[in-house]
Amino acid sequence: MTKQTQTDDLMVRAESITKNFQLYANQSEKLKSTFMGNQSETNFWALRGLTFDVNVGDVVGIVGTNGSGKSTLLNILSGVIPQTSGSLELNGSIGVVAINEGLNWELTGRENIRIKQLMMGKSNKEITAAMPDIIEFSELGEFIDQPVKDYSNGMRAKLGFSIVTHNNPDILIIDEALSVGDSNFSQKALGKIKEFIKEGKTIFFVSHDLNQVREFTNKVMWIQYGEMRDFGPTKKVADEYEKFVQDLDHMSEEKRDHYVEDQKHLQRIFTLEQLQDRLVRAGLPLDRARAIVTVRSFEGFSAFALYTALAIILGLMAIVIYFYLAKEQRL
Ligand SMILES: Nc1ncnc2c1ncn2[C@@H]1O[C@H](COP(=O)(O)OP(=O)(O)OP(=O)(O)O)[C@@H](O)[C@H]1O
């Protein structure tokens, strides 16, 4: 899904990233759609062609009202889910700090630390050496040997934050996680992030707290209903977004509902052909635009492929059993 290239300053380059989700009312609709291929009725485009460059040392705040696609973008950047189309280049390792991100709830805090470190390619010796620091930063004390399922949300956030930041990633993704945990820990976590900023790390920071975004970021990406409304210097874009939110708040409930409904409708009827036309109108040669909108992964398709593969395997097994039984009878 991700190409690794190296240029001097460029840390992340995204070109026309889209994400399609299939929305099913129930299980039978899902099966029908998978086998009949009538996906157009269930389409929902959470991202509709995001293009941006982020440089080494950029601290990017991502804003947008609920459901605008912020977490979807972060999940694509961190490799948790694939984009439907579009290309993504990353020039460094990624660490994600999010509520409950990637912790195994059956294991203890200590075991989670060990596993995460092993996944980062650390040796047992390195892990043992780093363990006391991680535990101390997490402030979990004796709870470190309790299963994570017995933790509060705040405790999980502390553990997740400590593990990820001690892994020292080149690109840090922070999704709302700082709002959990007590205020002492939030301050400590913000201090750690300030250290990362000073070190020139690249950071993506999703928060509904615009003051925090204004304080910590040098750029803001405003995503609204899956489209990039603006991406630029923090003050400019944060001011624009604040005005948009105020305008929404001042609308009557009926007008606001209509507006949101219209936008969601556009997310349902969006097509990759539309995106291709937009790219061509922006001056891209047709064959290049066509290559960019090529589907890389499609939920419905993968399910279809899985069912087809299963059907073939079952068919082959039936043939083998048939010939085996036929042979047995002949003997
Ligand atoms: N797995 C999924 N299946 C179907 N739809 C999804 C899925 N994940 C997200 N969506 C939809 O995609 C849209 C974008 O969701 P996303 O979580 O990225 O928004 P967000 O900006 O992070 O929202 P919030 O601020 O509320 O956290 C929403 O309409 C959501 O319902």
The per-residue pLDDT for 282 is 94
Q: How far from the centroid of its chain's Cα atoms is residue 307's Cα?
A: 27
How far, in Å, is the centroid of ligand 1 from the Cα of 73?
A: 10
Contact indicator for 159, 112 with CB cutoff of 8 Å: yes
**Whole-complex ipTM:** 0.97
Backbone angles phi, psi at 232, to 5 degrees: 180, -160
Closest atom, ligand 1, to C-alpha of 22: 4
Residues 299 and 279: their CA atoms lie apart, in Å, by: 24
Contact indicator for 24, 60 with CB cutoff of 8 Å: no
This prediction has a pTM of: 0.81
How far, in Å, is the centroid of ligand 1 from the Cα of 318?
A: 42
Closest atom, ligand 1, to C-alpha of 19: 12
Which of 18, 29, 44, 221 maximizes ligand 1 atoms within 8 Å of its Cβ, making it the mutation to test the pocket? 44
Residues 264 and 94: their CA atoms lie apart, in Å, by: 31
pLDDT along the chain (331 residues), means of 10: 58 96 70 57 91 96 94 91 95 81 89 90 91 93 95 87 88 77 77 89 91 92 97 97 95 94 94 96 95 79 64 89 82 57
CA-wise closest residue to 9 among 215, 170, 216, 222 = 170
Query: Nearest residue CA, atom 26 of ligand 1?
Result: 66
CA-wise closest residue to 85 among 41, 42, 49 = 49
